[in-house]
């Protein structure tokens, strides 16, 4: 009789108990890590990162629990870069150009009009150019995953009017991310660039602190920049990505087999995210038009000419050095500048 009662009680408690164990498991994983980024939760980067995090949890039998903090919830990019160095966050994705505030030559993949198309981007970033940059990043004591994630080819939006030629950029108050290369490029265009973290971009456009900004279509869409911008000019003036960075001590705290699972899943997610962004590029123009934007497709020639005449390419070749510049030119298959 006693045995039966006891069995019944255990049986009755079973359902809530399992739920409690699962919940406690989330908090007591061996490695409870934070991944911070600057993009909306709906952007493919966060969608694919969530998939990776779920698989990592499963494949490590719950040892690694990564929580994603999208949309600058833990701070703006320049703060997050300090955080990932100090260990305040364990993972962080960052544009190579903003990373150049710490690793100067990391921005080389963002040189204006360097990549004609994605056909050159992925072989370069998965090949010699990416390997060169990752080695530079590692010298700064950060861990970086092999596969860079896609941000995209950048387009210019404005509240004032369409960008038709380089002439249209003269005097334009334009937000650029915090990076010497971005400021240099728009200074070469004779614009008035303002360095502003992405966390502040929507409100800077809304309040008219700047007239425009530049970002790939997937961000113009997911961050709803069409609500505060009228014109979108398809300039493709640079390609941009996101390096997936890890704090070194946090990375090395994980045993090697666990690290391998984390790296594999993050890199797989990066490759899937690239495909998602490419798919979006094919459909987003229509969506942006239906959200009230006017889109034009200017010829790149005047922009390239302007950068060349301003000495932009010569200046940056000098900064990066001949070795790095040769790797870039080989990757893009042409002489720049
Ligand atoms: O800050 C931007 O514009 C963004 C979101 O594209 C980057 O992370 C560089």
Say how many Å lie between the CA of residue 328 and the centre of ligand 1.
22
pLDDT above 90: residue 13: no
Give the percent of the chain with pLDDT over 70.
92
Ligand 1, atom 1: closest residue by C-alpha:
198
Could you count the other beta carbons within 10 Å of the beta carbon of residue 192?
15
| DSSP 8-class letter at 104 | G
Could you count the other beta carbons within 10 Å of the beta carbon of residue 139?
10
Q: What is the mean pLDDT of the chain?
A: 93
Residue 81 shares a structural domain with residue 183: no
Contact 185, 112 (CB under 8 A): yes
Ligand 1, atom 4: closest residue by C-alpha:
198
Residue 111, domain member (yes or no):
no
Which of 107, 113, 120, 168 is closest to 305 using CA atoms?
113
pLDDT above 80: residue 26: no
Residue 124 shares a structural domain with residue 189: no
**CB contact set of 298 (below 8 Å; sequence gap of 6+):** 162, 163, 164, 165, 233, 234, 235
Residue 89, domain member (yes or no):
yes
Residue 164 shares a structural domain with residue 59: no
**CB contact set of 180 (below 8 Å; sequence gap of 6+):** 100, 101, 107
Closest-lying ligand 1 atom to the alpha carbon of residue 213? 3
Residue 57 shares a structural domain with residue 192: no
Residue 110, domain member (yes or no):
no
Residue 337, domain member (yes or no):
no
Alpha helices in the chain (DSSP H): 2-27, 44-59, 77-86, 96-99, 118-125, 128-139, 180-188, 201-206, 217-222, 248-253, 256-290, 301-309, 312-320, 322-332
Residue 108, domain member (yes or no):
no
Question: What pLDDT score does 22 carry?
Answer: 45
Ligand 1, atom 6: closest residue by C-alpha:
215
Closest-lying ligand 1 atom to the alpha carbon of residue 154? 6
Query: What is the pTM assigned to this prediction?
Result: 0.92
Ligand 1 is surrounded, with C-beta below 6 A, by: 38, 95, 98, 151, 177, 198, 215, 219, 240
Ligand 1, atom 7: closest residue by C-alpha:
95
Tally the domains of the chain: 2
Residue 198 shares a structural domain with residue 124: no
Contact 233, 163 (CB under 8 A): yes
Which has more confidence, 28 or 318?
318
Say how many Å lie between the CA of residue 307 and the centre of ligand 1.
21
**CB contact set of 265 (below 8 Å; sequence gap of 6+):** 52, 55, 56, 59
pLDDT-derived band at 136 (thresholds 50, 70, 90) equals very high
Residue 195, domain member (yes or no):
yes
Closest-lying ligand 1 atom to the alpha carbon of residue 97? 9
| DSSP 8-class letter at 148 | P
Question: What pLDDT score does 17 carry?
Answer: 44
Residue 319 shares a structural domain with residue 174: yes
CATH number at residue 145: 3.40.190.170
Tell me: the pLDDT tens digits for 44-55?
A: 999 999 999 999
pLDDT above 60: residue 10: no
d(CA 230, CA 283): 18
Mutate which of 154, 210, 219, 277 to test ligand 1's pocket (most atoms within 8 Å of Cβ)?
A: 219
Domain span at 128: 5-103+116-151+241-281
Residue 146 shares a structural domain with residue 160: no
User: Mean pLDDT lowest for which of 16-30, 93-107, 134-148, 173-187?
Assistant: 16-30
Residue 74 shares a structural domain with residue 162: no
Residue 277 shares a structural domain with residue 218: no
Q: Which residue has the tokens 């990752």?
A: 134
**CB contact set of 67 (below 8 Å; sequence gap of 6+):** 32, 33, 34, 35, 53
Which has more confidence, 143 or 14?
143
Say how many Å lie between the CA of residue 242 and the centre of ligand 1.
9
Closest-lying ligand 1 atom to the alpha carbon of residue 175? 3
Tell me: the pLDDT tens digits for 289-322?
A: 999 999 999 999 999 999 999 999 999 999 999 9
Closest-lying ligand 1 atom to the alpha carbon of residue 242? 8
Ligand 1, atom 9: closest residue by C-alpha:
95
Question: What pLDDT score does 334 carry?
Answer: 87
* Residues forming beta bridges with residue 150, ordered by sequence position: 241
Contact 90, 34 (CB under 8 A): yes
pLDDT-derived band at 280 (thresholds 50, 70, 90) equals very high
Mutate which of 78, 107, 151 to test ligand 1's pocket (most atoms within 8 Å of Cβ)?
A: 151
Question: What pLDDT score does 27 carry?
Answer: 59
Mean pLDDT of 194-219: 98
pLDDT above 70: residue 16: no
d(CA 328, CA 129): 6
Say how many Å lie between the CA of residue 214 and the centre of ligand 1.
9
Mutate which of 199, 215, 216 to test ligand 1's pocket (most atoms within 8 Å of Cβ)?
A: 215
Say how many Å lie between the CA of residue 43 and the centre of ligand 1.
12
Which of 288, 222, 174 is closest to 45 using CA atoms?
222
Sheet holding 155-158, edge to edge: 192-195, 173-176, 212-215, 155-158, 231-233, 294-296
Residue 41 shares a structural domain with residue 178: no
Residue 32 shares a structural domain with residue 127: yes
CA distance to 55, 104, 196, 247, 254, per residue, from 82 (Å): 28, 16, 17, 10, 21
Which has more confidence, 95 or 19?
95
Mean pLDDT of 219-244: 98
Residue 184, domain member (yes or no):
yes
Residue 327 shares a structural domain with residue 262: no
Q: What is the CA radius of gyration of the chain?
A: 23
Residue 109, domain member (yes or no):
no
């Amino acid at each position: 009789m006693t045995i039966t009662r006891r069995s019944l009680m255990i049986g009755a408690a079973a359902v809530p108990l399992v739920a409690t164990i699962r919940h406690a498991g989330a908090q007591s994983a061996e490695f409870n890590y934070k991944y911070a980024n600057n993009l909306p939760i709906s952007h493919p980067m966060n969608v694919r990162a969530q998939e990776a995090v779920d698989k990592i949890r499963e494949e490590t039998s719950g040892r690694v629990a990564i929580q994603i903090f999208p949309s600058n919830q833990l701070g703006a990019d320049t703060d997050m870069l300090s955080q990932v160095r100090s260990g305040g966050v364990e993972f962080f994705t960052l544009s190579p150009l903003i990373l150049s505030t710490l690793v100067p030559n990391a921005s080389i993949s963002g040189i204006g009009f360097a990549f004609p198309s994605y056909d050159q981007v992925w072989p370069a970033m998965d090949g010699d150019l990416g390997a060169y940059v990752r080695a530079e990043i590692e010298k700064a004591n950060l861990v970086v995953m092999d596969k860079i994630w896609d941000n995209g080819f950048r387009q210019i939006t404005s509240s004032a009017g369409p960008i038709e030629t380089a002439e249209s950029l003269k005097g334009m108050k334009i937000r650029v991310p915090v990076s010497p290369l971005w400021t240099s490029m728009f200074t070469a265009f004779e614009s008035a660039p303002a360095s502003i973290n992405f966390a502040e971009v929507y409100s800077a456009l809304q309040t008219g602190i700047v007239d425009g900004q530049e970002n790939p279509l997937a961000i113009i869409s997911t961050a709803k920049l069409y609500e505060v911008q009228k014109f979108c000019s398809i300039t493709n003036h640079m390609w941009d990505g996101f390096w997936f960075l890890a704090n070194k001590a946090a990375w090395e705290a994980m045993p090697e087999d666990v690290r391998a699972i984390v790296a594999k899943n993050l890199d797989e997610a990066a490759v899937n995210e690239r495909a998602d962004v490419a798919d979006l590029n094919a459909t987003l123009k229509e969506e942006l038009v239906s959200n009230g934007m006017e889109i034009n497709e200017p010829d790149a020639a005047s922009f390239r000419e302007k950068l060349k005449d301003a000495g932009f390419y010569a200046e940056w070749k000098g900064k990066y050095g001949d070795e790095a510049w040769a790797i870039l030119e080989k990757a893009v298959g042409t002489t720049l500048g």
